[in-house]
Chain A
Amino acid sequence: MLTSSKFPIRIAAVAALAVASSFGMAAQATDITGAGSSFVYPVMSKWSAAYAEKTGNHLNYQSVGSGAGIAQIKEGTIDFGASDAPMKAEDLQTLGLGQFPIVVGGIVPVVHIAGVQADQIKLDGATLADIFLGKITNWNDPKIAALNAGLKIPAGKITVVHRSDGSGTSFNFTNFLSKVSPEWAAKVKFGTAVEWPAGVGGKGNEGVSQYVNQIPGAIGYVEYAYAVKNKIAWVDMKNAAGNFIKPSADAFAAAAATADWASAKDFNLIMTNAPGAKAWPITATTWMIMYKTPKNAVNSKVAFDFFKWSLEHGQQDAAALDYVPLPPALVSKIEAYWASDYKH
């Protein structure tokens, strides 16, 4: 009886406090809304919690997919959109939008071959494309053996696993294949979803890693963090400079640093197959898309403050989630872009 009579009072007190505090905050705090890419969702939620603690401003980020994010920013229902594929310069121009990268991540090919561990098997872009085109169908193919002198790869049927849902991961992966394989570029092209010439589709990174784990002889591609978490063997890739690279935060950062941002208007550059000697070839970023002349000046100001804080102070949080901080040169370039292109 004692506890049951106490509880309602306590609940009421808490509720009253909550109401009071939310009213109190509403006076100064601003809620901003963003939507789009699911690739950045983990880091966005971490940042928004840390940022809310510091400033009292809340970010509501909806992980609805890049396409939906772009659609919503076009309709002006949100303060910023987030997309894994950059918008074209002329589209940005006509709509009065601007875009900039916020965080970098890597995509790694993963395999399930008996006795083969992470970082043991090596592939180059052309061979990877041939596997995904269904032209190389067995692990004992001489093209694979030629790249892996000294490694015994047991013969076995290759099963390609791709994403079944439209995704930025697929966008960047197929973009890389298009850059390294003329046949892929002509037949399949690149996009968030394509007509896969071979294989099965798993839903999301978790679906693909699950399929790869279960199918002997499978090859798929996932975000680096998923491969690390699920302990799937990843493949070392030959990059544009001709070096074999292990996927790592440094290799993703090297790709971001050596990508040719200077000649990319509105950061319209997909940084796969980056030229740097140590660059990981399948490195991706997510773009934040905002109106250059804000529809809601107050929210827009808070959003910029949030992005500035994220780029300058939130990168530790990003690294903890296996994203890669943007190189300092790129950060200052983004801040210069804000100053020159956006009206505050």
Chain B
Amino acid sequence: MSAQPGTIAPSLIQEQRSRRDARHERLFRWLLKGCALLVLAALLGAAGATLWGGRSAFATFGWHFLVSTSWDPGNDVYGALVPVYGTIATSLIALLIAVPVSFGIALYLSEVAPAWLRTPVASAIELLAGIPSIIYGMWGLFIFAPFFANHIKPWLTNNLGDQPDDGKLSWVAQHVPFVGKLFGSSYPFGASILVAGIVLAIMIIPFISSVMREVFQTVPTRLKESAYALGSSTWEVSWDIVLPYTRSAVIGGIFLGLGRALGETMAVTFVLGNAMTLSASLLDPGTSIASTIANQFSEASGLQKSSLMALAFLLFVVTFFVLLIARLMLRQLAKKEGS
């Protein structure tokens, strides 16, 4: 169909153009849909592949796989409890430390710091986020773990733990339940669940704090100035104005950090101690899902390989539940606000 300019009525040109626009519109929509579906396909593909790879482990051990603490390649018996516990415990410790610190960093940068300081510190934080995790791991193993073992750990075991060096239990260990168990350890080295949690915290602080800083800056100056005008302190403005206004984005940032902590591999492998034993103490070595896979996958075969795939699937499940809880929390908060 060849067009002959000049001889065609203007309405036809318009019609052609609108048809072309509609075609482009459709194409654009498919493109967008394709992009979104690609993510979904990748997610389902990865989850499906790990489930398929782990099928013989699930078939062999059934529910025992989830509750067994044994990981015995010699006798081909595997259980996921120790790595799952290690993953959750280290990530929780990381969040406990990282969230308040990130909140402080973000508030300082957006509310308190002088203008000339804001940009350099903000860029420094973003640079920190770009450091490869193995660097954190090596720092943790070579510098932080020995420092922790020599200076922090003795204090913790002697003042809080149930296995102090001199055998005399401290007041805390005698009177506060669980604390003695949490900090009691006779293991002489630093690499442990607590150290892994601290290193993870340092790794995720840049993520959480830069998200928080960005969203804190979106709070309208009008709101803040009104509160200040009513006599609010900086703390009151932060807690009652800035935080509620940015709540969902802040929680999103926290869960971004948590997602990274759950899946972090190299750094954790270096500082977690890699012991397949379940211990109540945070000062004992443990293992995580990601570090177990990283450690054993290259030399594994048969049922061991399948169990590692099953572990990977469990990591998906754990992450999914964590995100689900985040969503529920957000909904609960929204309901409470009545908005």
Q: Is A31 an interface residue (CB 8 A)?
A: no
The digit string for A165-196, where 1 denotes a CB below 8 A from any CB of B, is 11100000000000000000001111111111
Count class of interface residues, chain A: 35 or more
Which residue from chain B places its CB closest to the CB of A210 in the assembled complex? B141
Residues of B within 8 A of A56 (CB): none
**Which of A60-68, A244-252, A304-312 lies at the interface?**
A60-68
B187 A159 Cβ-Cβ under 8 A: yes
Q: Is A327 an interface residue (CB 8 A)?
A: no
The digit string for A151-172, where 1 denotes a CB below 8 A from any CB of B, is 0000001010000111100000
In chain A, positions 66-108 with a C-beta closer than 8 Å to chain B are: 66-68, 70-71
**Which of B8-16, B40-48, B252-260, B295-303 lies at the interface?**
B295-303
Q: Is A34 an interface residue (CB 8 A)?
A: no
B75 A189 Cβ-Cβ under 8 A: yes
Assuming the A-B contacts A65-B298, A166-B300, are A214 and B74 also in contact, with contact meaning beta carbons closer than 8 angstroms in the complex? no
Q: Is A203 an interface residue (CB 8 A)?
A: yes
**CA–CA, A214 to B145, complex, Å?**
9
Q: Is A294 an interface residue (CB 8 A)?
A: no
B74 A188 Cβ-Cβ under 8 A: yes
Q: Is B170 an interface residue (CB 8 A)?
A: no
Q: Is B149 an interface residue (CB 8 A)?
A: yes
How many A-B pairs have beta carbons closer than 8 Å: the answer is 97
Count class of interface residues, chain B: 35 or more
Residues of B within 8 A of A187 (CB): 74
Assuming the A-B contacts A193-B73, A194-B73, are A217 and B274 also in contact, with contact meaning beta carbons closer than 8 angstroms in the complex? no
B274 A200 Cβ-Cβ under 8 A: yes
A165 B296 Cβ-Cβ under 8 A: yes
B73 A195 Cβ-Cβ under 8 A: yes
**CA–CA, A249 to B80, complex, Å?**
42
Further 17 A-B residue pairs, CB within 8 A, beyond A164-B287, A165-B294, A203-B270: A159-B187, A165-B298, A165-B299, A166-B295, A166-B298, A166-B300, A189-B74, A189-B75, A192-B299, A193-B73, A193-B295, A193-B300, A194-B73, A194-B74, A200-B285, A201-B274, A216-B188
Q: Which residues of A contact B (CB under 8 A)?
A: 64-68, 70-71, 157, 159, 164-167, 187-196, 199-203, 207, 210-211, 214-218
Q: List 17 A-B contacts (CB under 8 A).
A: A66-B299, A67-B298, A164-B295, A166-B73, A166-B295, A166-B300, A188-B74, A191-B74, A192-B73, A195-B71, A199-B275, A200-B274, A207-B141, A211-B191, A214-B149, A215-B189, A217-B188
Q: Which residues of B contact A (CB under 8 A)?
A: 70-75, 141-142, 145-146, 149, 186-191, 269-270, 273-276, 285, 287, 291, 294-301, 304
